[in-house]
Chain A
Amino acid sequence: MIRSFRYLKPYIWTIIVVLALVLLRTFLELMMPFYLGKLIDDASSLFLSNENKETSIIYYGSMMLGITIVSIGVMIFSRYLGAKIAALYGKKLRSELYKNVQTFSLKEVDEFTPSSLITRSTNDIQAMQQTLAMLLRMAVLAPFTAIGAIAMAFIKHPTISTVLIVSIISVLSVLYTIYRLAYPKFSLIQKLADKMNLVVRENLTGLKVVRAFNTEEFQIDKSRKVAQDTMDNNVFVNRLFSAMWPVMGFVMQLTTALMYVVAIYFGFLKENSAFTPGDLSSMVQYGTQTLHSFMMMTMILIMLPRSAISANRVMDVIDKKTNIFDGDDLVKLDDLKGEVSFNKVSFKYPNSDESVLKDISFKAKPNEVTAFIGSTGSGKSTLINLVPRFYDVTDGEILIDNVNVKNYKLDDLYQLFGYVPQQGILFKGTIKSNVGFGVSNINDEELNKALDISQSKDFVEKLDDKYDSPISQGGTNVSGGQRQRLSIARAIAKKPKIYIFDDSFSALDYKTDAKLREALDENIKATILIVAQRINTIKNADKIIVLDKGRIVGIGKHYELLKSCEVYKEIAESQLTPEELLI
């Protein structure tokens, strides 16, 4: 949490003003019981004349009114500033987090996981913002009030104030005990909530399985068990915490009573003593204020650790630095041909011992289709992610037109690629905005051509708004196959020198797959890299690279590999019929 406070630096003076205002308000609040006490004394005095009494009342009454008005003004102003600071704080945190995530390579994104990043940038920052607002309001008020109230009580009458000390200690010990008893069960609450979530989610996702196996009762029993544990735990914790206010209430009353007792028994207040009933009533109110503040402080202390967790989660992302930077070379993109070479490339994920790729060397030529195939875990997708530097190699080098990819400026490098991920990723907008995603202002002709080649024209024409049809967030209002085709159109529209298809054809049926490849063949002149699972998809590639356990076990064309490469043959045999193999 402290780490994040550096973003408050620009507002340091405002914060000081807020704290000063809080201090002022505390002081003013503490004056109220004082004036009331005086008012009571004077009004009930046996010695003053009625006129003087009335003057007193008006005087003290006006003082209290003045204090109230100033106090309110102070409060409103300080809360205004406090809310503003907290909101600016949140805004700055969000902005810093987002900007830093933009610099991340795939490595950092995978480390945090996209879902976690989303939670951190929304929920966690919101928690931090609320905590700061609360801190600015109360964290200073409570201790100031406590100190002030104790001081006032002490000034009024040191001996009687000792009663307060006793009360404070007892209050703190009770709160501490409750906290210690409740804390272990407290952390269980979250775990049980997660478990409940899990059980319900499993039931919902497996509805068909549950009914098919007639295990409805079993599932209900499972829920019952978790719900029971949750209930028992919550009952315990809540009952424990609900003891706080009643105990506090009793202690406050006891304190008041004790103050009275001490005052009378020790003779501090007797006939015509210097210590007046008005004084006593002020003391009582100061006592109440003190105990109240201590309660507040404890509650804040209980809440802080939880916000600290959120703060750490957020600052971890903001402080994370990537190590994939721009290279120094300036290149003229138009002169590039787009030849991709791997020289003895090896790659290992940051926390792993095993290399995912070992000693990979090949050349992918422009205007040729280079395909990658292998079983899951053979490293094909990883390989393809290295080309645009989503990850950096741990050994060897990757060259584009004989220049190491690390030497390119990242923006220039990205310009070279048309990337189509495995799950079609679309963004909120229209079909046109998505296809034109990488182009500044796509014209209709280019748009139509991209749609045509990607086999999207048919379904887009059928829509009411055609290419102005809206795409919802995440592209969920179109089918998987349509998403993929639009992603392909997006790549085509960019007219890149190098295409990367990361298993992008798997959601398409055989027929569409074939037509698409044909269209690509005819229209696209660029280096094409395809990662695929289906032999049929890559059968006609100019070069097929077969991967197994991170190594290249075969390079060549389809028929050569059928004869020479064991792994390729195995894959083919599992996918094609004997007749197809022979053809």
Chain B
Amino acid sequence: MRNRYSEKPKNFSHTINRLLSYLSKDIILIIFAGFIAVIAALMGVLTPYLAGKALTLVKYIYDGEEALVSIFSFLPLFNFVTLIIVIILTALLTSLFNYLQSFLLIGMTQRLTYKMRIDLTTKVNSLPLKFFDKYKYGDILSRITNDVDMINQTLTQSISEIFRAITLVTSILVIMFLMSWELALITTGSVIISLIVAGIFVKISQKYFVRAAKSTGDMTGHVEEVFHGHQVVKIYNYQDKALAEFETLNDEIFDSSFKSQFISSIMFPVQFFFTNLAYIGIGVIGGYLLIKGQIEVGFILTYVLYARQVGQPIQTIGQTASVLQQTSAAAERIFFIMDQKEEDDESNKKLLLPNIKGKVEFDNLQFSYIKDKPVIKGFTAKVKPGDMVAIVGPTGAGKTTIVNLLMRFYELDDGDIKIDDISIKDMKRTEVRDKFGMVLQDTWIFEGSIYENIVYGSNGKTYEDVEKATKNAMTHHFIHSLPNGYDFILKEDGENISQGQRQLITISRAMLADKPMLILDEATSSVDTRTEILIQKAMDKLMKGRTSFVIAHRLSTIRNADVIFVVRDGNIIESGNHDALIEKDGFYAELYNSQFEGQEI
């Protein structure tokens, strides 16, 4: 949902300032645009004045008097033709300047949102993964897309309109006072009252908009549950209850949307009332002044036009204020991410491990995801080059923690991991990660060709290299069965191929990358048998000769492992090979044997 009425900015002016500082590079352009806006506004102000003068001139003609009129006391008198030409020229220039101003502002604000998007993307890729534990992807995605869009849509209009509106209103009021203070007073009064009215209505309707957004949110939640759980609702005979719940929510939406609609829509008539009162006042008082001969005929027209002209910017200011509130709310959400602390800058670290053997040592690791809730409480182990380490444990036991620490996705609280006797803390993160090929359970496929997905992360590989990798990963065959083969375009998330095929592609990716060590998650729950066999063969090939850390799901893997890390509640409680652990008769033994529970012998 794109409406964010529910957000109220916490620090309005500070955020807007910060937002504008994004434009600081364009400061010259801004000043220039501002200058143009002022000129355009002044020209726009001139127009009703000239129109009034034209009417006065016409009146002279009608009265049979000399057809000349004074525009400004320092200029010579104008005749009709000259006046018309001046009017047309002024109009032309006004429009040109107005356009020029929008033209510039649009370029600037678009550049702003562009820069923001890039900054956010860069930020997201350098924040510690710990951050994403707290904040759901959906929320972050929404900030980078929806919130930036919101700023995009609102900022352009808001800035140029506020510029114009303020200049217009000020200059109009100044001129009006110069022309006739009585009439000016009326108009000013109407302006002030309009502003106040706008403010009141924005406040009142805001309350209802918030309520409307909330009831819509509630309704969306209900509908989401019921539509996704359609079968469950039917089978468990919940339909009537669901309908009753729905109707209650529907009534709420009806009420809040009707009220918010209505209240915000009568802001206009009410402002219109005051504008019209001014209009009438101008007519009446102007009429009296006309009688007394204190003003020219054209003044009344001029004032009427000014009153009309002033009404629009007032409304705009009112609308813009509430729009800016939304902009500010969106900007706050974005700045929140920008202000997060990034991972440490490691540009001063040197490359330490050009040639790697693959020995890994774990030295009294201490780690916790959340402070004061330790997960790994002192783990020590040695892994020889080429060893296959199986990580086992009940569902949700935290087997991925080891992976996270090895890859420095998270940092240790205490203790150390050493690769070939060098601490990973001394190495750059990029170097550590460069040592590992990774195949995770959540297959990550992006929109693009199969070829692009496989070469992702590898540099300078040829087509032959790719083919070799896919053949080893048992993937080549099915790629050829697809139309266009390697050029077959995979859709978002790889939706147009099966889960098993996606897995094979990620394995090919790792195969191609050919890293000295391997991290592998064997989970292949929803895959058909034949593909599963292929995947297993591919995984076995991938593991050959590399130090591998495998989150194991196959008994064969576990049994053949050189070392088994047994994980429970996030901590590694036992380690050793299969036979040794069975003999120990501890948690591992219990876990292993439970597979045969309830079985006939």
Contacts and interface: CB of A to CB of B under 8 A. Distances in A.
Chain A partners chain B: yes
Contacts of A57: 283-284, 287-288, 291
Given A256-B51, A425-B229, A428-B225, A272 B64 contact: yes
Nearest to B590: A511
Given A264-B80, A494-B236, A257 B87 contact: yes
Interface stretch (B89-97, B383-391, B475-483): B89-97
A44 interface: yes
A169 B287 CA distance: 36
Contacts of B233: 102
Given A72-B269, A206-B446, A220-B118, A117 B290 contact: no
Interface string A36-80: 100110111010001001101110110011001101100110011
B336 interface: no
Contacts of A207: 124-125, 129, 132
Contact of A203 (B64, B125, B129, B156): B125
B456 A213 contact: yes
Interface in A486-518: 487, 490, 494, 506-511, 514-515, 517-518
Contacts of B118: 220, 223-224, 227
Interface stretch (A10-18, A242-250, A340-348, A349-357): A242-250
B456 A215 contact: yes
B149 to A, nearest CB: 7
Interface string A410-440: 0100110111010001011000000001100
A518 B594 CA distance: 13
A202 interface: yes
Given A390-B231, A506-B525, A509-B395, A272 B243 contact: no
A129 interface: yes
Interface stretch (A1-9, A326-334, A397-405, A570-578): A570-578
Contacts of A201: 137, 141, 492
A234 to B, nearest CB: 5
B5 interface: no
Contacts of B276: 32, 64, 68, 71-72
Contacts of A68: 273, 276-277, 279-280
Nearest to A65: B280
Contacts of A206: 444, 446
B600 A60 contact: no
A156 interface: no
B409 A211 contact: yes
Chain B interface category by residue count: 35 or more
Contact of B63 (A197, A246, A271, A518): A271
Given A231-B113, A254-B91, A271-B62, A511 B457 contact: no
Interface in B211-267: 216, 219-225, 227-239, 242-243, 246-247, 250-251, 253-254, 257-258, 261-262, 265-266
A425 to B, nearest CB: 4
Contacts of B106: 235, 238-239, 242
B235 A231 contact: no
Interface stretch (A82-90, A160-168, A360-368, A445-453): A82-90
User: Which of A40, A95, A245, A421 lies at the interface centre, i.e. has the most chain B CB atoms within 10 A of its CB?
Assistant: A40
Contacts of B442: 205
Nearest to B230: A109
Nearest to B273: A72
Given A117-B227, A269-B61, A238 B124 contact: no
Contact of B125 (A210, A270, A273, A507): A210
Interface stretch (A294-302, A303-311, A460-468, A532-540): A532-540
A250 B433 contact: no
Interface stretch (A120-128, A145-153, A180-188): A120-128
Interface stretch (B12-20, B27-35, B181-189, B530-538): B530-538
Contacts of A264: 58, 61, 80
User: Which of A95, A378, A418 lies at the interface centre, i.e. has the most chain B CB atoms within 10 A of its CB?
Assistant: A95
A272 B59 CA distance: 10
B61 A540 contact: no
B301 interface: yes
Nearest to B304: A36
A121 B220 CA distance: 8
Contact of B227 (A65, A109, A481, A490): A109
Contacts of B55: 277, 280-281
Contact of B110 (A39, A235, A273, A494): A235
Given A106-B231, A235-B107, A61 B284 contact: yes
B54 interface: yes
Contacts of B438: 208-209, 212-213
A114 B228 contact: yes
B102 A242 contact: yes
A435 to B, nearest CB: 11
B94 to A, nearest CB: 7
B570 interface: no
B395 A508 contact: yes
A438 to B, nearest CB: 3
B37 to A, nearest CB: 13
Nearest to A534: B525
A441 interface: no
Interface of B: 1, 44, 47, 51, 54-55, 58-59, 61-64, 80, 84, 87-88, 90-92, 94-96, 98-99, 102-103, 106-107, 110-111, 113-114, 117-118, 121-122, 124-126, 129, 132, 137, 140-141, 144-145, 149, 152, 156, 216, 219-225, 227-239, 242-243, 246-247, 250-251, 253-254, 257-258, 261-262, 265-266, 268-270, 272-273, 276-277, 279-280, 283-284, 286-288, 290-291, 297, 300-301, 304, 394-396, 407, 409, 429-430, 433-434, 436, 438, 440, 442, 444, 446-447, 456-457, 492, 498-500, 513, 519, 525-530, 532-533, 536, 555-556, 559, 591, 594-601
Shortest 7 CB-CB distances between A and B: which pairs? A213-B457, A253-B91, A375-B528, A438-B236, A87-B258, A57-B287, A246-B95
11 contacts: A36-B283, A40-B290, A95-B246, A203-B121, A238-B106, A253-B87, A270-B61, A277-B62, A428-B221, A437-B238, A507-B395
Given A231-B114, A253-B94, 11 more contacts: A43-B288, A57-B288, A68-B273, A80-B266, A109-B227, A219-B125, A220-B121, A246-B95, A250-B95, A257-B87, A511-B597
